[in-house]
Structure 1
Amino acid sequence: MRAIRITSFGGPEVLVPAELPDPVASGNAQLLDVSRAGVNYADTHQAENSYLAASSLPMVPGAEVVGRLADGRRIVSLLAGGGGYAEKALVEPGLSFDVPEGIDDTTALAMVVQGASAWLLLRRSAVLNPGESVVVHAAAGGVGSLAVQLAKAWGAGRVIATASSDEKRELARELGADVAIDSRSEDMTAALREANGGQRVDVVLDMTGGRVTDQSLRALAPFGRLAFYGMASREQPSPIELRNLLGHSTTVAGMWLAHAFLLPGDVLRPAIAELFEMVAKGTLRAVPGGEFALSEARKAHEALRSRSTVGKLVLDPSR
Structure 2
Amino acid sequence: MKAIQYQAYGSYDENRLVEVDRPQPKDGEVLVQMRTAGINPLDNTFRSGHIYLSTPENLPRIGGQSGAGIVVETLNADFKVGDRVFVRGAGAGLVADGTWREYVAAPGAGLAHVPAKLDDQHAAAFLAGAGYLTGYLALTELAHFKPGQSVLAPAIGSAVGMETIQIARRLGASLVISTASTTEKAERARADGYEHVIDLSMESLKDGVMRITGGKGVDVVVDGVSGKLTGQALASLAFGGTIVVAGYAGGREADINVTDIIWKAATIRGFTFRLFAAETVAAANRAILQYLQEGALKPTIGKVFPLAHAAEAVRYLIEDRPYGRVIMEI
User: Which of residues 136, 141, 149 in structure 2 aligns to 1:124?
Assistant: 141
Aligned pair 1:219/2:227, yes or no? no
In structure 2, the residue corresponding to 1:178 is in which secondary structure?
coil
Normalised by the length of structure 2, the TM-score is 0.85
Find the counterpart in structure 2 of residue 158 from structure 1: 175
Work out whether residues 290 and 313 of structure 1, in 8 Å CA contact, stay in contact via their aligned partners in 2: yes
Specify the alignment match of 1:255 in structure 2: 271
Measure, in 1, the Cα distance between the counterparts of 2:143 and 2:320. 25
CA RMSD, Structure 1 to Structure 2 (Å): 2.5
SS in structure 2 of the partner of residue 306 of structure 1: helix
Task: List alignment gaps of at least 5 residues for structure 2.
Answer: 74-80
SS of 1:123 mapped into structure 2:
helix
Q: Which residue of 1 aligns with 2:68?
A: 66
Count of residues in Structure 1 that have an aligned counterpart in Structure 2: 313
Between the aligned partners of 2:170 and 2:188, the Cα distance in structure 1 is: 17
Partner of 1:76: 86
Task: Summarize the alignment of residues 194-273 of structure 1 with structure 2, pairs less than 5 Å apart.
Answer: 194-238=211-255, 245=261, 247-257=263-273, 259-260=275-276, 262-263=277-278, 266-273=279-286
Whether contact under 8 Å (2:132, 2:167) holds in the other structure is: no
- 1:4 paired with 2:4, answer yes
Query: What is the aligned partner in structure 2 of residue 44 from structure 1?
Result: 44
Are 1:17 and 2:17 counterparts?
yes
Q: Any idea what SS the aligned residue of 1:267 has?
A: helix
How big is the shift at 1:195? 3.2
Find the aligned partners of 1:87 and 1:108 in 2 and give their Cα distance.
Answer: 16
**8 Å Cα contact 2:182-2:201 kept in structure 1:** no
- Of 313, 322, 326, the residue aligned with 1:300 is 313
Asked if structure 1 preserves the Cα contact closer than 8 Å seen for 2:153 and 2:223, the reply is: yes
Q: CA deviation at 1:117?
A: 1.7
Quote the Cα distance in structure 1 between the aligned partners of 2:107 and 2:256: 39
Matched with 1:89 is 104
Q: Which residue of 2 aligns with 1:315?
A: 328
Alignment identity in percent?
Answer: 26
Q: Which residue of 1 aligns with 2:35?
A: 35
Post-superposition shift, 1:138?
1.2
Which 10-residue stretch deviates more, 232-241 or 302-311? 232-241
Aligned to 1:287: 300
The corresponding residue for 2:77 is none
The answer on whether the counterparts of 1:161 and 1:172 sit within 8 Å (CA) in structure 2 is no
More deviation, 230-239/41-50: 230-239
Counterpart pick for 1:107 among 101, 122, 126? 122
**1:231: Cα distance to partner?**
0.7
- Map 1:166-177 → 2, pairs under 5 A: 166-177=183-194
Change (3 A) 1:191 1:53: farther
1:16-45 CA-partner distances (Å, limit 9, x unpaired): 111111123335443221111111111111
Distance in 2 between the 1:54 and 1:222 partners? 39
Separation in 2, partners of 1:115, 1:35: 21
Distance 1:33 1:99 in 2: 14
Q: What CA distance in whole angstroms lies between the structure 1 residues aligned with 2:152 and 2:260?
A: 21
Could you tell me which residue of structure 2 aligns to residue 146 of structure 1?
Answer: 163
Letter in 2 for 1:14: E
